[in-house]
Amino acid sequence: MRLTLGFSPCPNDTFIFDALVNGAVDAEGLDLDVRLEDVQTLNEWALAGRLDVSKISYGVLPLVAREYAVLASGGALGLGVGPLLVARPGLGAFDPARMRVAIPGRNTTAHLLFSLAYPGAAHKQFMVFSEIERAVLSGAVDAGVIIHEGRFTYRAKGLERLMDLGEHWESRTRSPIPLGGIVARRTLGPEVLGKLERLVRASAEHALARRPLVTEYVRCHAQEMDEAVMRQHIDLYVNAFSVDLGEAGRRAVGTLLDVYRQVNPGAPALPGDLFV
């Protein structure tokens, strides 16, 4: 069976999926057509139902949950992993009613966490995550929400942190942060969905057993080519929740969906079976 599979070129995703897409884990008859794109593009493709299996931001899950179910393996969830709000030195206090802020996509979890912290923000500009630091440094925006390897490199690029949006989330909800998960089309049926979950878990376990190895597959797709940064990225975003969400991970996703409904009153009801 041929299936389209989408995930980002970030080190945590390529680290998790390397074994599966490059043959170190037997795909058990599945022929995977891999597409690597930034997370907002993957969110938009999920909204359009374009891929069979995909990484998404949990922030877009409420909009795609009727078509896609969440796999227990392959995602990014944890403590201390949230996005950061950054600016050029000397900006002072961030004024959400007046200042322009760059956000890595309308349907990202980063946008949801920013909205929880700054519900009155009036001048949001949505762009690909890799463009945000440059937009802040050039003055095109006053501040930006950074994700992925930006967390490790923003100081070296001359930016300063205004708020750790993950810490704000954790203090408000007492919950780990569900950043992104793997979803699969419900119409694939229970047998294929179960196989996919098992294979993604096996691929994650294969990678973690070889940590701290950074493979060529990870290196060739990373935005930040410094290997120390790649290792930091993997160490932060790949953990036990990436192997299996478990009950704690499922509760954290439920908490995020509750916050989504607070931030988006009138959002449609969700199906009762979110997970495979």
pLDDT 10s digits, 103-139: 998 889 999 999 999 998 999 999 988 899 999 999 9
In angstroms, the Cα distances linking 246 to 32, 59, 177, 257 are: 26, 19, 14, 17
Name residue 269's amino acid.
A
Tell me, yes or no, whether 74 and 181 share the same domain. yes
Q: Give me the helix-helix angle, 11-21 and 189-209, nearest 10°.
A: 110
**pLDDT value at position 224?**
62
Structurally, the chain folds into a number of domains equal to 2
Over the stretch 214-249, which tens digit does the pLDDT of each residue have?
999 999 998 666 888 899 889 989 999 999 999 999
Residue list for the binding site for substrate: 55-57, 109-110
Boundary of a domain, candidates 125, 141, 173: 173
Query: Backbone dihedral region of 141: left (phi > 0), alpha (psi from -120 to 50 degrees) or beta?
Result: beta
Mark whether 148 is an active-site residue: yes
Q: Is the pLDDT of residue 17 over 70?
A: yes
Identify the active-site residue in 148, 206, 221, 233: 148
User: Is 123 part of any domain?
Assistant: yes
Over the stretch 169-181, which tens digit does the pLDDT of each residue have?
999 999 999 999 9
pTM given for the model:
0.90
Number of H helices, E strands in the chain: 12, 11
Q: CA-CA distance, 124 to 207, in Å (whole number)?
A: 37
| Residue range(s) defining the domain that contains residue 34 | 2-78+177-263
Please report, for the domain that includes residue 127, its CATH number: 3.40.190.10
Tell me, yes or no, whether 64 and 193 share the same domain. yes
User: Is 271 part of any domain?
Assistant: no
User: Is 182 part of any domain?
Assistant: yes
Tell me, yes or no, whether 97 and 206 share the same domain. no
